[in-house]
Amino acid sequence: MMGPSSFDRRTGAQLHVLRGHTFYVLSAVFSPDQSHILTASWDQTVRLWKLADDHIVRSWRAHRKSVAAAVFDPATGLIVSGSWDSQPHVWDASSGALLRVLPSTQWSSGAVAIDPVGPFVATLGAGDALEHAVVEVWDKSTGRRFATVPSQEEGADTVTFSPDGQRLLVGCADGAVRV
C-alpha cells in the first residue's frame, strides 16, 4: 500500500504515513484548516484523510484513468479532481457526492486550480495533440465552460490562480510561465 507522508518543517521528523493507495500518489494537498489531506493517485482514486488519526474519511473512484490532481475549494467546500480520462469531477467534500462531471473537450485534464475568491475552476489538458496544452475555465457551481485559454504550443504541466482570482499562471514545457 502506498500513501503520502507529512513532515515537521522545523525538525524534518516524519509525522504521518497515510497508507491506502495502491499506486503512485500524484497530488497531495492540505485542507484549508489543515485537519485533512486530499490525495490523487494512479490507482484512479481520490482520497480524503483525517490527520488526527491517519484514517481515510472518503475514497472516490469515479475516474476511468489515473487521477493526476485534486484540490480543495476553501470558499465552498468543493473538491475538484483532474484525470487522464478527460473528465474533471466536482465533489461535495462533506457528503462525498459527485456533483458534476465537467464536459471537457481535451484529451486529458491533469492539472486543476480553484479560483480562491470567485466562481471559477481551471483545468489544464492536452488539445488535439499531446504537445498542445489548453486551459479551460469553468463556473464551479453550474459546470458551464466560461472560457478556453489559447493553446500553448509546447505543452504545459501546471495551472494556478492568483490569490485575488484575477489571473492564471500556466507552467509550460518550453520553460516559460505564462500569465
How far is Cα 150 from Cα 103, in angstroms, rounded to an integer?
Answer: 18
- 1, 11, 81: which is closest to 39 by C-alpha? 81
Per-residue pLDDT at 130 exceeds 70: no
Per-residue pLDDT at 99 exceeds 90: yes
Among all chains, which residue has been given the C-alpha cell 473512484? Answer: 61
| Average pLDDT, integer, range 21-28 | 84
Quick one: pLDDT at residue 70? 92
What are the residue boundaries of the structural domains of the chain, listed by start? Answer: 5-178
Chain centroid to CA 74: how far? 13
Per-residue pLDDT at 94 exceeds 60: yes
How far is Cα 103 from Cα 151, in angstroms, rounded to an integer?
Answer: 18
Per-residue pLDDT at 1 exceeds 60: no
Q: Tell me which DSSP letter residue 97 carries.
A: -
| Average pLDDT, integer, range 145-153 | 76
- Across the chain, mean pLDDT equals 81
How far is Cα 179 from Cα 174, in angstroms, rounded to an integer?
Answer: 14
Q: 5 falls in which pLDDT band (50, 70, 90)?
A: low
pLDDT tens per residue, range 40-85: 888 888 889 888 887 888 888 888 888 888 998 888 888 899 888 7
Percentage with pLDDT > 90 across the chain: 10
pLDDT tens per residue, range 115-124: 988 899 898 8
- 94, 89, 59: which is closest to 76 by C-alpha? 94
> Taking phi first (over 0 means left), then psi (-120 to 50 degrees means alpha), and beta for anything else, what does residue 35 get?
alpha
Q: Which CATH class is domain 5-178?
A: mainly beta
